[in-house]
Amino acid sequence: MNDEIQMDGYSIEVEVERKPESRLNVVLAHGGNNNMNNSLIQKLFDDFRNKYSTLRFNFSFADTGIDIRNISDGSAVLRSTAELKKCIEYMGAKDIVLIGKSFGGYVSTLLAGNPNLGIKKVIALGYPLHKPGKPQELLEGLSQAHMQMARLQVEFIIGDSDPSWDIKNAPPILSAYKINIIENADHSFKPVRPGGSLDENERKVVELASQIIEGIS
């Protein structure tokens, strides 16, 4: 079912599949340069809609994109966080699993510690940790201070060749979290070496995310 969620002076587009018997409510958040029809988000939605109540949506920046490397202030993050929060409330703010790609994953982690949203797990895919190829330079405008709360229910799925996450030199702030690696994959899970395909890697991500969700009590 397609619907719109009203924000303050504008609305965001959502697609939702509700299953009355579902034990979890899954919310999918896309990345900064695509929308809810991104191929990975589509695969996740198609898989989970058969098992759980599932929602995907468009951030208000979906038509223009957002360059997470050049966020100069917190307004874009605050706006996107408010939109994701509305989607969670739309799903009842109970037994929530957030799955976010890149910027959508970052925004999802910001809400992970909110006790009023019923969040059981956040799965961040291709998390934007630092400037591409520069692990010593964390992205300005995307503070990682909230990740110091080591008991957040957050898990990561990262490509082994993601230029925005040097898996060999992850900062200590993330040492308490489980990091799952997709071999031969970049930030968008595209292969970087001969063999494999984007479709195959995306299906691996979906399978891994499904396994993580199945383990939620």
Range of the domain at 186: 2-214
Which pLDDT score, from 0 to 100, does residue 26 have?
Answer: 98
Which pLDDT score, from 0 to 100, does residue 154 have?
Answer: 93
pTM of the model: 0.93
| Average pLDDT by stretches of 10, the chain with 217 residues | 95 96 97 94 97 97 72 77 98 97 94 94 92 76 72 91 85 84 96 95 98 90
Question: Any idea what the CATH number is for the domain that residue 31 is in?
Answer: 3.40.50.1820
Which pLDDT score, from 0 to 100, does residue 141 have?
Answer: 63
Number of domains within the chain: 1
Q: Tell me the HSE value of 17 on the side-chain side, using a 13 A CA sphere.
A: 15
